[in-house]
Amino acid sequence: MTDRIAFQGEPGAYSHQACHDARPGMEALPCATFEDVIEAVRSGDAAQAMLPVENSTYGRVADIHRLLPESGLNIVDEAFVRVHINLLGVKGAALSDVTEAYSHLVLLPQCSTFLREHGITGRVSPDNARAARDVADWGDTGKAALASELAGEIYGLDVLARNIEDHDRNTTRFLVMDRAPDMTRRADRMMTTFVFRVRNIPAALYKAMGGFATNGVNMTKLESYMVDGVFTATQFYADIEGHPDDTNVQLALDELSYFTSELKILGTYPADHARD
């Protein structure tokens, strides 16, 4: 369906929030796994996919860098979502009633100060939205969920405390994926994402990166990861500022291609304003 965007997780998850914020006119389609999200777009069940790639507190999202190059999809946008964590309880509950709070393993440490100050024990749930759904089902005023306000709206929970995360800059970066690439210059500030493998020659990576420095191209991210579990097969993931049609980007990519055995552009898209 052309009006649907797929995400991983249950309704109310932060990926759902990203869909709601970045694509408000599209219906959000929940999927069990990242692979299911990609397949939904491939099969035409959804027009686009919303995939998290990194979090400002916890770093890279596992498996995403491995999945993107083989997905057959193209990056057409990025979205930065501020992770506001809220304590959600059943109707009529008060903060003083809560003794246990449920959420994903990654979210619990992000609220450790608040939980400790209020004598609340953190409990692990498979997903923060699942935690909200379970709390609603249990109907126990002593149990609460750590999740988004959207999750509270969906499952009929009250917000007992807002924005309780320890760090006030916790943000997750998402990529919007589509079957068709969009190489049009839709903003003054564009980003380009690509993956590459260097040739097996001395100082290949150093030489490959030199073209970006000499041509004044700002590389905002460079990460390496193993391919197929082999220590000698390393692939690099990179984000740069600019569009492939820019002369300096063209020159840098041309120099990069000389020192690489594989080079694949995953997408060109406008830089999210939250980068500033």
**Tally of residues, the chain:** 276
pTM here is 0.88
d(CA 118, CA 135): 19
Q: Which of 7, 34, 114, 172 is catalytic?
A: 172
Query: Which residues lie below 8 Å from residue 234, measured CB to CB, with a gap of 6+?
Result: 197, 198, 224, 225, 226, 227
Choice among 7, 34, 114, 174 that is catalytic: 174
Q: Is 57 a catalytic residue?
A: no
pLDDT tens-digit profile, the chain (276 residues): 469 999 999 999 999 999 999 999 999 999 999 999 999 999 999 999 999 999 887 778 877 888 999 999 999 999 999 889 999 999 999 999 999 999 988 889 989 999 999 999 999 998 899 999 999 999 999 999 999 999 999 999 999 999 999 887 889 999 999 999 999 999 999 999 999 988 877 888 888 899 999 999 999 999 987 776 666 557 899 999 999 999 999 999 999 998 898 999 999 999 999 887
Query: Is 7 a catalytic site residue?
Result: no
> What is the b/e burial string over 52-66, where b = at least 16 CB atoms within 10 angstroms of the residue's CB?
bbbbebeeebeebbb
> Mind listing the domains of the chain with CATH numbers?
4-83+170-178 (3.40.190.10), 86-161 (3.40.190.10), 190-270 (3.30.70.260)
